[in-house]
Structure 1
Amino acid sequence: MTVDVADPIRSPVVALGAPVGGTPVLLVHGSTGTAAAFRSVARHLGQHRPCLGIEAEEVPPDLPAPSVDALARRYVRAIRHVRPDGPYHLAGWSLGGAIAWSMAARLRAEGDDVTLILMDTRPPVAGAEPTDHAEALCDFAETFSQAVGGRRLLVDPERLRRLPDEDRQYAEILRRFTDAGLVDPDDHGYVLGRARTAVALTVAVSAWQPEPYGGAVHLLVPERPGAVHQLVAGWSRHCGGAISARSVPGDHISMLEPANAAQLADALRRVVVAAEQPPPGEESLVAEPSEGCRRFGRKDPSLR
């Protein structure tokens, strides 16, 4: 499959791996907005079907952050440019799961078949206050430092809130990265762009309330901390279809890393292959039960 990105505006859809046949899996970015985190998974999954990443544009400091629904509308237009008709297989990691949810709801409303997969995406909490800039920036610092350095850099949001403005907050995080040996000063411009995007997306998702979704939802949950039941309970409040859950190795970050990528790719492949089979009577389209997987409505002692 060849990706046509002939739009005059840069497409958010990027090819991950060599073109192969079949219905593509669309992997929706996490908080930093880049699809690069999926490359190890796509290396395995792409042996069987196309893998396309969806990336966010950097958010300029002088423009308001886009909402989740605005991002979903843009991404749906972009994937229809590449693939005008369904079915669509959408998999969102981290806060990308919220964007994938909104995309899936829109595609289903337009009459398309959708497979929706959430990879360690926290459900929204009703009535919760939106995340502020300092807290979102601290979340970025923790996630980014683990991804590039293998250890979490913990920053107190209150310390950032005492600084005079957001520019000083960003400068403090960049200083902390440099002092920890995580970022070279020559890379500050790139990291600042990723930080601004992450903060904008985190704040947007924290204010998002999902529309009810009538299709099946598939959760891929890392073994650490292994909060399968909490995630199922949270998402079931918004889902009118069946929910399946499968445990995969790693934690929120390492589930995508090379050591665990093959297992995550296999879990994605199983869900997608099952979704492409004819519906067996009245049963929902979910991955076959196995260790670490539960088909709701049937008991699986491995997740008790």
Structure 2
Amino acid sequence: MALRGFSAGLEPTIRNVFEAPSPAALSRLLDRDPSPSAPAHLVPFRTGGPAAPVFCVHPLSGISWLYSGLLRHIDPGHPVYGIQAEGPGGVADLPDTVEAMAERYLGLLRAVRPSGPYHLVGWSFGGLVAHAMAVRLHELGEPAGSLFLVDTVADTEAGPEQPIDDQRIFRLLLTAAGLDGERFASAELDFATVSALLHQEGSVFARFTEDDIGRVIAVSRHNYRLARAYRPPRYPGDATYIEAAANAPRRVPHHDLWRPHVGGELTVGHTPAPHHRVLQPQHVAEIGVQLRDLLRGPRCSAPRPAAPLPSCPPVRGW
């Protein structure tokens, strides 16, 4: 997504880009007086619509803008938000467990709509948090929305530590912008090179500063520690799991590892993209159409009910 055509005095923020659906609307947004916006943890991809809202939980990096490509596949009746890791307290105020993170994010859901159902989407680390949120919503008696997990690992034996440094984050940003990360696998990247590549692509991530990179590294390390210490509980409802293509043979498919943690029906879909590329612009439709079809189920697409409804039915034939 490019951010071009505005004077220095009207420089849009990344949040502005998602608050406005068109360049004209963005201009009107920048011209108006400042007003309160969504909570700092939320990226408002789409704020209007009578159907239950969709919340996309950040992966390890803490960046929820990666989900922006899903928006075109989600019917316009659904408000859609990304949940960012950093709030007003920054990296000094990150939750110290996945359960605490889930509890904090439930407050964001209720800031948008006081009661459910809520649809939850999580890729990678975000799937662990989305599942924990669904468990807590069930405990609180909220009507069930859909739970959509994308290539999230559960209950695996702790493997060797994987370093999270500036090189890994640089490659993550290039991959998110649709560039071939393998092209740079052996290169020693620096901020200037990565920034120039992102600007050439017209990527929203071109606005990242070196300080932004440092915060993403800190958030990623923090969430990596949480993930290694966490084992998901059992969620009594239904869930949909999207398995990505494996870079190497898997002893056990990741969706099988989730079966003990889903008490209802576990519907399994697939994407031919490998884990780190599933939300790239050229691959995101493979995920988006499966999410769209799930949300079009009769229990998911209707406006908020007056009484709790059973969870959304699984989608067949993926």
What band does the TM-score fall into relative to the shorter chain? 0.7 to 0.9
TM-score, with normalisation over the residues of structure 1? 0.73
Identify the match of residue 107 of structure 2 among 53, 65, 77: 77
Task: Give the TM-score normalised by structure 2.
Answer: 0.70
Question: Which residues in structure 2 correspond to 1:2-151 (within 5 Å)?
Answer: 10-17=39-46, 19-57=48-86, 66-112=96-142, 113-125=144-156, 128=158, 135-137=163-165, 140=169, 143-148=172-177, 149-151=179-181
Do residues 202 (structure 1) and 224 (structure 2) align? yes
Q: Give the drift of 1:65.
A: 5.7
Could you say if the C-alpha distance between residues 249 and 183 of structure 1 is closer, same or farther in structure 2, counting changes exceeding 3 Å?
same
Deviation at 1:88, TM superposition (A): 1.3
- Whether the aligned pair in 2 keeps the contact of 1:216 and 1:241 (CA below 8 Å) is yes
Once the two structures are superposed, what CA deviation does each residue of 1:170-208 show, in whole Å capped at 9, x if it has no partner? xxxxx9431893246x93211111111111111111111
Post-superposition offset of 1:268: 0.5
Change (3 A) 1:284 1:62: closer
Secondary structure, counterpart of 2:227 in structure 1: helix
Residue 212 of structure 1 aligns to a residue whose secondary structure is: coil
Match of 2:241 among 219, 224, 249: 219
CA contact (8 A) 2:154 2:231 kept: no
The corresponding residue for 1:177 is 189
In the alignment, the residues of structure 1 paired with residue 231 and residue 138 of structure 2 have an alpha-carbon distance, to the nearest angstrom, of 18
What is the distance in 2 between the residues matched to 1:244 and 1:46?
21
**SS of aligned partner of 1:117:** strand
Gaps of 5+ in 1: 156-174, 294-304
Contact 1:136 1:203 in 2 (8 A): no
- Work out which of the residue numbers 256, 259, 283 in structure 2 matches 1:236: 259
Higher RCO, Cα 8 Å, sep 6+: 2
Does structure 2 retain, via aligned residues, the 8 Å contact 1:25–1:50? Answer: yes
Report the Cα distance in structure 2 between the residues aligned to 1:93 and 1:51, rounded to whole angstroms: 15
* 1:297 corresponding residue in structure 2: none
Matched, 1:245 2:273: no
Query: Is the contact between residue 124 and residue 153 of structure 2 (CA under 8 Å) also seen in structure 1?
Result: yes
Give how far 1:264 is off: 1.8
Partners in 2 of 1:142 and 1:227 — Cα distance? Answer: 24
Structure 2: which 5+ runs fail to align? 1-18, 20-34, 197-207, 303-309
Q: Is the 8 A contact 2:265 2:314 kept in 1?
A: no
Secondary structure at 1:250 match in 2: strand
Deviations 1:216-239 (A, max 9, x none): 121012245596961122111222
Q: Which segment drifts farther, 52-61 or 105-114?
A: 52-61
The CA RMSD measured in Å over matched residues stands at: 3.5
Between the two proteins, what is the percent identity of the paired residues?
23
Of residues 191, 194, 201, the one that matches 2:213 is 191
Determine helix, strand or coil for the equivalent of 2:284. helix
Alpha-carbon deviation of 1:60? 5.6
Report the Cα distance in structure 2 between the residues aligned to 1:21 and 1:201, rounded to whole angstroms.
33
Rounded Cα–Cα distance in structure 2 between residues aligned with 1:143 and 1:228: 26
3-state SS of 2:190 partner: helix
Deviations 1:279-300 (A, max 9, x none): xxxx98543322xx3xxxxxxx
**3-state SS of 1:37 partner:** helix
Which amino acid in 1 is paired with 2:214?
L
8 A contact 1:72–1:100 mirrored in 2: yes
Would the aligned equivalents of 1:119 and 1:219 in 2 still touch at CA under 8 Å? Answer: yes
Q: Does the residue aligned with 1:241 lie in a helix, a strand or coil? A: coil
